[in-house]
């Protein structure tokens, strides 16, 4: 048992912080309701975000690309969907619920303009130009455009449902189509055209891993050190994956606990309520954003884009079916259609990303343009 524990190579802080966060959540009812408690919870929220990034990188290092980015994207999205569904079930069923629409749209805009913009800016500043495989990224973008059009724009133009909502049969049709599109993308990413999503550096590391696994135990290890590849053992990977789920759950639950404080602050500032969804979505997406930023700083833009676009697809591709199920069993009307201003910003953002990746190289200007669109999105949300 002691030998097993010694073989786990994970920083102690990344284990303690998520566990202590869970303890704080269990003790929440006995904690004083004041600003100091909120500050403590906020500190552990940030710590859980950093811990989740650390664990996600450990798992990704073991399984390789693109599976590592898929694991992080799916883990965060599943917990995000659980949070959305739990809040929807607590809402009144007499009025349409716009929570899913606001959360999904905020996540997509943060990813397309904020996360990708920061990655383009930081990578372009450090390396001038960065390379990636555009076939994989363009595949993800056209899938994202199709799902977003069907779920967020088309409801404004159908006539069977009330206002910007789908009728029940339309909602289920769109939910099935969303799953088909997302499932098809995963099949392309992991099986059919996996080489579109793996950079040359990641391919080299995976080949080094296979070479290392085929070597005899008594062979000298100097050559492995020259390959710049340090294999992650199985106990470390399993522990990191478990702690990743705990850390992500802590991020979402702490966000939910702090949301009333955020709502009060937003209301006190006179800002619209939709800003709350943006703040919560930003906190939930911090693990993915930090992981993508770190990869871009290491000149691994392919990993950054895989993570960003995969997260956007997972967010909308899993949320809409879950919302359809909740709507069916509760009779709740779900509003999905975004307004004209949001439609213009979304189409401009996805077109900008697509044009940025069309040459297979990015530079700092692409990041500047996307971040300007991101600030425009935030500003027009605060001052509609």
Average pLDDT in the 64-73 region?
74
Taking the CA atoms of residue 237, residue 195, residue 126 and residue 61 in that order, the dihedral angle to the nearest 10 degrees is 10
> What is the Cα Rg of the chain in Å?
22
Question: Which tokens in the block code for residue 112?
Answer: 């397309």
Render pLDDT for 115-135 as a digit per residue (tens, 0 to 9): 999 999 999 999 988 888 888
Q: Higher-confidence residue: 343 or 202?
A: 343
- What is the C-alpha to C-alpha distance for residues 152 and 168, in angstroms, rounded to an integer? 16
pLDDT on residue 153: 94
pLDDT band at 90 (very low <50, low <70, confident <90, very high): low
Residue 138 has pLDDT above 90, yes or no: yes
Q: Higher-confidence residue: 192 or 273?
A: 192
- What is the C-alpha to C-alpha distance for residues 183 and 36, in angstroms, rounded to an integer? 45
pLDDT band at 231 (very low <50, low <70, confident <90, very high): low
- What is the C-alpha to C-alpha distance for residues 275 and 60, in angstroms, rounded to an integer? 33
Count of Cβ atoms closer than 10 Å to residue 187 Cβ: 12
- What is the C-alpha to C-alpha distance for residues 80 and 253, in angstroms, rounded to an integer? 10
Residues 6+ apart with CB under 8 A from 48: 17, 18, 21, 247, 248, 250, 251, 254
Residue 262 has pLDDT above 80, yes or no: no
Residue 85 has pLDDT above 80, yes or no: no
- What is the C-alpha to C-alpha distance for residues 275 and 264, in angstroms, rounded to an integer? 12
Place of tokens 């470390």: 236
pLDDT band at 217 (very low <50, low <70, confident <90, very high): very low
Count of Cβ atoms closer than 10 Å to residue 71 Cβ: 17
Instruction: Report the SS3 class of residue 362.
Output: strand
Q: What is the 3-state secondary structure (H, E, C) of 14-80?
A: HHHHHHHHHHHHHCHHHCCCCHHHHHHHHHHHHHHHHHHHHHHHHHHHHHCCCHHHHHHHHHHHHHH
pLDDT on residue 168: 87
Render pLDDT for 292-336 as a digit per residue (tens, 0 to 9): 999 899 988 988 998 899 889 988 888 888 888 888 888 888 888
Residues composing the chain: 384
pLDDT on residue 17: 92
Enter the pTM of the model: 0.80
Average pLDDT in the 178-206 region?
80
Whole-Å CA distances, 241 to 61, 68, 131, 148, 305: 12, 11, 30, 30, 22
pLDDT on residue 216: 43
Average pLDDT in the 346-358 region?
93
Count of Cβ atoms closer than 10 Å to residue 27 Cβ: 9
Residue 235 has pLDDT above 60, yes or no: yes
- What is the C-alpha to C-alpha distance for residues 64 and 237, in angstroms, rounded to an integer? 12
Mean pLDDT of the chain: 83
Residue 176 has pLDDT above 90, yes or no: yes
Q: Which percentage of the chain shows pLDDT scores above 70? A: 88
Residue 372 has pLDDT above 60, yes or no: yes
Question: Which tokens in the block code for residue 303?
Answer: 């990993």
Average pLDDT in the 374-384 region?
90
Question: Which tokens in the block code for residue 266?
Answer: 């937003």
Phi, psi at residue 157, to the nearest 5°?
-120, 0
């Amino acid at each position: 048992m002691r030998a097993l524990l010694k073989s786990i190579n994970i920083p102690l802080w990344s284990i303690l912080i998520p566990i202590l966060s869970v303890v704080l959540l269990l003790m929440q009812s006995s904690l004083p309701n004041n600003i100091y408690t909120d500050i403590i919870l906020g500190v552990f929220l940030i710590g859980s975000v950093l811990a989740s990034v650390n664990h996600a990188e450990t798992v990704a290092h073991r399984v390789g690309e693109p599976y590592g980015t898929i694991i992080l994207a799916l883990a965060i999205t599943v917990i995000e969907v659980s949070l959305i569904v739990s809040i929807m079930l607590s809402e009144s069923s007499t009025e349409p619920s716009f929570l899913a629409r606001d959360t999904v749209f905020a996540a997509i805009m943060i990813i397309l303009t904020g996360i990708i913009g920061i990655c383009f800016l930081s990578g372009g500043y450090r390396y001038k130009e960065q390379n990636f495989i555009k076939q994989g990224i363009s595949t993800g973008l056209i899938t994202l455009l199709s799902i977003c059009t069907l779920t967020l724009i088309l409801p404004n133009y159908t006539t069977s449902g009330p206002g910007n909502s789908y009728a029940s049969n339309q909602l289920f049709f769109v939910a099935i189509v969303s799953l088909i599109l997302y499932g098809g993308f995963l099949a392309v990413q992991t099986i059919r055209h996996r080489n579109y999503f793996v950079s040359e550096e990641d391919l080299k590391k995976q080949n080094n891993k296979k070479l290392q696994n085929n070597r005899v135990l008594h062979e000298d290890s100097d050559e492995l050190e020259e390959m710049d590849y340090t294999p992650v053992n199985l106990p470390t990977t399993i522990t990191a994956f478990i702690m990743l789920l705990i850390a992500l759950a802590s991020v979402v639950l702490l966000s939910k606990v702090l949301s009333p404080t955020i709502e009060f602050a937003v209301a006190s500032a006179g800002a619209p309520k939709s800003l709350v969804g943006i703040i919560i979505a930003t906190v939930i997406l911090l693990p993915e954003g930090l992981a993508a930023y770190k990869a871009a700083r290491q000149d691994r833009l392919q990993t950054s884009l895989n993570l960003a676009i995969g997260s956007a697809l997972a967010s909308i591709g899993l949320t809409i079916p879950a919302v359809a199920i909740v709507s069916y069993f509760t009779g709740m009307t779900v509003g999905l259609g975004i307004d004209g201003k949001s439609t213009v910003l979304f189409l401009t953002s996805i077109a900008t990303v697509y044009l940025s990746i069309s040459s297979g190289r990015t530079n700092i200007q692409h990041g500047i343009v996307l971040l300007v669109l991101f600030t425009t999105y935030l500003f027009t949300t605060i001052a509609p």
